[in-house]
Amino acid sequence: MKKLFAMLLAGAFVAAGAIGCGPAESTAPAPKVTDKTPPKVTDKTPPADAPKPITGKVTKSEGGKITVEGKEYDISTAKVMIDTKEAKAADIKADGTATITFDKDSKVTAVDVKTAASPPPPAPTEVKGKVTKSAEGKITVEGKEYDASTAKVTIDGKDGKAADIKADSTATITLDKDGKVTAVDVKAGTPPPPPPPPAPTEVKGKVTKSADGKITVEGKEYDVSKAKVTIDTKDGKAEDIKADSTATITLDKDGKATAVDVKTK
């Protein structure tokens, strides 16, 4: 019993000493204090998708705006392409087909237009006309030059060569789909007609009418007001010429009467 008491007394003494001395100073480094402020949460919501492009017929184009599928779009700041070439909004015409591209705010960023141009007419397969020039295997017909050097040439139904084609002949040119001459059918030009006979220098006949310095002979009226008039070998005047007399009218190269010789008997 005494032994147990002594042990308890010793333990109490040690505890009292510990209380009196206080805590021992620690030599270990202080722990690092980290910033425990909650991190900023970024918005990871994906951006709204841009509207899909639309394609339709342009029914109106005015003032930097076009109407497609019944809706008007402002394209004044958009990139415009017409038939693969850069253009301006003002160049867009109605009846073209436009593909409109938007950004995420539904603003028009680009317009690609295909015009409704009609296809070119097919190349002619035959040309007919007068040959105005022929040289070095080439002929000019209707103002256009054609290379006939490798074509089959027929002249007045007989085989010929391009060099045989003469100006003033008539040629029918056959062309392939690429506009190349494949055949030339030529009708040789006829010799030019003889020049018309010179205007008559003298007219003789019965005077059927005479008035106002003009007389009618052989059904044609002549102005003799300024011509030299002789009546029965005597000088006279145009007004002295009577119907039923016989007149010989001398004409110059322009058909103008220069003299009238009248026989009254």
Residue 233: inside a domain: yes
* CA dist., res. 261 & res. 205, Å (int): 11
CA angle (185 as vertex; 182, 187 as ends), nearest 5: 160
Specify whether 102 is located in the same domain as 132. no
Which of 164, 187, 210 terminates a domain? The answer is 187
Q: Show the domain range for 95.
A: 54-114
For residue 222, being part of any structural domain is answered with: yes
pLDDT for residue 29: 57
Q: Which CATH number fits the domain that encloses residue 58? A: 2.40.50
Cα dihedral 115, 118, 119, 121, rounded to 10, equals: -150
Whether 19 shows a pLDDT value over 80: the answer reads no
* DSSP class per residue in 33-69: PP--PPPPPP--PPPPPPPPPEEEEEEEEETTEEEET
Tell me the pLDDT tens digit for each residue of 246-257: 999 999 988 899
> pLDDT-based confidence at 177, cuts 50/70/90?
confident
Which among 100, 106, 166, 164 is positioned nearest to 130, based on CA atoms? 166
| pLDDT for residue 13 | 46
pLDDT in tens, 50-92: 789 999 999 999 999 999 999 999 999 999 999 999 999 999 9
- Ramachandran angles phi, psi of 78, nearest 5°: -85, 160
Q: Is residue 141 part of a domain?
A: yes
